[in-house]
Structures are given as structure tokens and as C-alpha cells.
Amino acid sequence: MESIPRLLVLAFGLCAGAAQAREAGDHHLQLGLVHVNTLDSSTPLRTQLRPSLLGGVLGIDSDFVSEGTAARVGSSETLLFIYSYYFTDRWSLKLEGGIPARFDIAGEGVVRPTGIAGSVISVDLGAPVNNPLASATQWSPVAMLQYSFGRPRDAVRPYVGVGLTYTWFTDVELDEDFDAALNDQFGRALALAAGKPGATRARADASPSFAPAFNAGIAMSLSERWNVSASVSYLMLSTESTIDILAADGARLARSRTALDLNPLAMSVLVGYRFRL
């Protein structure tokens, strides 16, 4: 991301004397790079177990919280595509999409049941061999109302926007080592206690949600139709992440979940083209 300031300096130099009117009736296409950092936080993992001999014999609670556990989401880069329509000289409707970002999810702390079995049945979320715990693809199309400052033919026009996104996740995949640790250290004991001995499997998921989106940036003209811009967007995005351990017959033996505030901060550099139909 160190190249972004250099690109902006170059763009300011190129736009000197250029004027591009962005007026009512204009269509505007933009394509560029976006770097996403998550300002994330999460609650400790809460685990719910299928009723079994573990509770009655070993004193393990069927519902427990593993204090000190947390999930962390890494950064990502991808391509961003934006279409805007100016219905006045200052106001426009903006639709954002592009290639969905892929994120790695890391963990910390130990999931350990209550009772005497807690010293034997446990999974270390922070162990290097288990990280990243999982990865997921995030889809976050945004519809936004944008206001551009200045006059239509100003070479430089700052802008702000506010809108809404609906986010969902696909290809949520557990790391192979973490998957094996869950099944070997946790799943087999749960299956045996539930009267379903044998191999187990784990699966992960994340809930979809609506979230407000905020944007601020600056657009700089290169010619009558071409421009470059830089912007920062913030999404107040939350999700519930779950991991299930399933017996061979598909019965759910355990579910661990955490409320995860992602709050992604996206910084982008874009090239734009203005036209009329």
C-alpha cells in the first residue's frame, strides 16, 4: 500500500489544468484495487454439546464458554468495480461490486470443557499448526448515495457517501490441520459418549447480514472523460461464526459459535470513465 501516495501525487500532476464535468445524466464506471483491513473483535467461543455420558459421568456441562478464546480476521486485496449514475450535478447513486475478497481466520485460546475431562479433551485455537483456522470468501455488494463537493468542472472533487450492504460468505473451509485436531481431540470422544462411535467430521459457516456503509474520497480529472480517485470505505459488519462437529450419521455432536464484528476498512485506488447513453 506504500504505492498509493505515489499514485496520488502522480494523479495530481496529471490533472493540473484538466476539467471533467460530472453532471446530471452522466454514467461513471470505475475499476481499481482495494486493500481491506478488518477492525475486528469477537466474543469467546460458546460450545453446546449433545447430551451424552460426558455430562452424567464426567460432569461436563452441555453448554460452556471457553474464556480467553477469540477469532481474528486477516487482511485481503482484490479488484473493485463501481457504477455510478449522476441524477444531479452533485448527487449520484453508486453500486459497488467486484471480485469478492478471500479472508483467513485465525484463533487464540483453548476450547476446554468443564469437569475433569477438560484436561484431556481440548483444542488449542492458537497453536501455530492449527492456524489459520479457516478461510472464507466475503460477498459485500454496496448500494450508496454519494454527494460530490465543488462544481461540475472542478478538476478535483471530494465526495462522501452513505449506503447499505448485504454480506454473505461462501467457500467457508476449515484448515486441514485444524479440522484433524477437532475430530481427533474432540470429535471421537463426543461420538463415543453419544453412542455413535467412529469417524467424525467438522464444518464451518458464517451468517449473512445487512450493514450500513460509509465512504469518503477524492476524484481527480485526467481528461474530459477519464479520472482517478482514492477512497476509504467503512462497513459496520457483524456475523455469527459457527463450527459443528458431526457424527458419521450426520447427528450434530457439538456446536461452537462466536459473535464476530468484522468492521472492514477498505482503501481503494480507482480509474474511472464518464459517458452518456
User: What is the per-residue pLDDT for 51?
Assistant: 76
Nearest to 76 by CA among 32, 31, 138, 134: 138
Which is it for the CA torsion 119, 104, 267, 6, positive or negative?
A: positive
Q: Which of 10-14, 44-48, 124-128, 187-191 has the lowest mean pLDDT?
A: 10-14
User: What is the per-residue pLDDT for 186?
Assistant: 85
User: What is the per-residue pLDDT for 27?
Assistant: 95
Please name each of the domains of the chain with its CATH number. 3-275 (2.40.160.20)
Q: Which three cell numbers stand for residue 143?
A: 448500494
Region class of 206: left (phi > 0), else alpha (psi between -120 and 50), else beta: beta
pLDDT value at 268 more than 50 = yes
The pTM for the full model equals 0.84
List, for residues 40-67, the tens digit of each pLDDT value: 999 999 999 887 666 555 567 788 999 9
Q: How far apart are CA 231 and CA 229, in angstroms?
A: 7
pLDDT bracket for residue 5 (50, 70, 90): very low
pLDDT value at 11 more than 90 = no
User: What is the per-residue pLDDT for 122?
Assistant: 83
Tell me the β-bridge partners of 76.
Answer: 36
pLDDT bracket for residue 114 (50, 70, 90): confident
Q: How far apart are CA 224 and CA 259, in angstroms?
A: 48
User: What is the per-residue pLDDT for 57?
Assistant: 55
Which positions ≥6 away from 277 have C-beta within 8 Å? 27
User: What is the per-residue pLDDT for 24?
Assistant: 82
User: What is the per-residue pLDDT for 3?
Assistant: 45
User: Measured over all CA atoms, what is the biggest interatomic distance in the chain, rounded to whole angstroms?
Assistant: 81
List, for residues 70-113, the tens digit of each pLDDT value: 999 999 999 999 999 999 999 999 999 999 999 999 999 999 88
Residues in the chain: 277
End-to-end CA distance of the chain: 36
Do 200 and 187 touch, CB atoms closer than 8 A? yes
